[in-house]
Structure 1
Amino acid sequence: MVHVVGRAGAPRDSLTGRKRLVAQAAILATVVGATGVFALSHKSVTIDLDGEVRTVSAYGSTVGDLLAFQKIDVKDGDLVEPSASSSASDGGTIVVRTSREVSLELDGEPQTFVTTASTVGELVSALGPRAEGARTSVSRSQSLGREQIRVSTLKTVHVAVDGGIVSATTAEASVQAVLDHAGIVLSEGDAVSVPLGAAAVDGMLVLVTRAAQGAATVTESLPFATEEVKDPYLPQGQRNVRTSGRVGEAITTYEIQTVGGAEVSRTVLERTVVREPRTEVVVVGTLDPSTIKVDPGSSKAIAKSLAAQRGWGDDQFACLDLLWMKESRWNATAENRSSGAYGIPQALPGSKMASAGADWRTNPATQITWGLGYIENRYGTPCGAWGHSQSKGWY
């Protein structure tokens, strides 16, 4: 009996031991696996939240996970780069620009926008092609605040004067400024159909009625012609005024016939052109921005991301690509030996870029950051800088 029990008990103990080992191994594998997943989800990232930059530790597999771990709430309208659904990478940088409601006066009309812009320049750029060449009441580099901002966009204003129609394309804000821009001089007693201080609006018609003159010899404005030129190096939707139009001036002597003291006809006896009109040349872009190739991880990719953070889309990046391809072919060590200009943006001198980082000599991101700031402060947008470069040969 004892022998039989001993034989039956030995296998039972052995089976129990094996089960215990299997269970322990499973638990160990689970712990090791969980530890591995936990380690993989841990990231050290740099978060740029509305210009406040800090490096943090966070856990998650996506950009959205990391932001949620840091209790950064992303709402509709906010800008996140890379996108919240993108895979998070250790050592990466996440840029978040929170949206807010901003009021401004656009071509004389109060407007309210929801925007992620932090400066006046970024806000104007977000208006799209219509804002190219726009004028602002404050510096574009100024941070958005409580101050009222007035923006005047590129527009065409028609002026009926001296028997002709002058169509001026300009970003001038008021009717008076448009007349000055076009070279139309008002004399004492002349009447204008709208107040001179009124906001200039695209497509508006201004009628100038000259005061009655007793003399048969008068000075008159000569309308200028407008020419549109297609430009394959300017993105579709972009329009630049290459040459602003200006009216000419002529001294005309008339033979005037009156009936009962009222003028019934006048005939030109002599006309002397004092100043020839200057034709207005408007450049219209035809470049498709989708044709610009950007390799992941390249300097162009960095620039496209940083430009997007300023509210500049594909059309503006197309201008930036053309500009810096011309300047340096996107070479971070490009140097102009005659002038000393250096780097991707060809800063002159190159040491100016030290304001963006001590590694300005070799780091494309530092050079691009400085270059985009320079473009915004001086020209407003990359297309503004590219237009200047095309007309002047430099920017």
Structure 2
Amino acid sequence: MSRISVRGFAVASATAVTAVGSVVGVASGSVAQNNDAEPTAADTTLLADIPAGQQAQVQTASLTHQADVQAIAADASAKKDAEESARKAAAETAIAKKADAEKAAKEAKERAQAKSEATTRSTRDTSSFPVQGSYTVAQIQAMARQIVPADQFQCFSNIVDHESSWNYRAVNASSGAYGLFQALPGSKMSSAGADWQTNPATQIKWGLGYMNSSRYGSPCAAWSFWQANHWY
């Protein structure tokens, strides 16, 4: 074998790779470590000392090594970035789910409160309204607004408009239906109070209970039925 032995070539190749790497490092601005072992005279072999036919192999080995190192570093960086993105996405998802749960709980609480208030209004003791010898339409409507839930009042009002025009003493001459809701017979309103004939509040309480019953479920449902059939 020319110029160096097999063992010498192995040492020379490794040294040359190191030398080439060092040259590359210096070119890229790297600073050699102070604790690098100084090569001995026997181990120091420059690229120029390697036979021309083998220099390309040494250079290729050096470049391949550098490429492998860079690929490993890139993979590690990509893995780290992916893990960080996944962590952020999981955190954002958890925050969104928490916000949705809090919103749902708030809405449920508001619905429960509204239902409770509606129940309180619908079961209000009619004795809380002053008893009078007669009532104007405005007074009767004011009573109804205090008893009927706000979101149901217009439907409630539409039915009363068509049935009695808010006349709590209205009587149907042919059937005998009576009051704001033309109850037939009128005496069924006694379930809301003995003064059903003279107290609009008692009639309102009865009418709201009738509309909220399983027959309709709400004044607006009762109004939808009325529009389709012209009775309820």
Which TM-score bucket, shorter chain as reference? 0.3 to 0.5
The higher relative CO (CA closer than 8 Å, separation ≥ 6) is in: 2
With normalisation by structure 1, the TM-score equals 0.26
**Greater strand percent: which structure?**
1
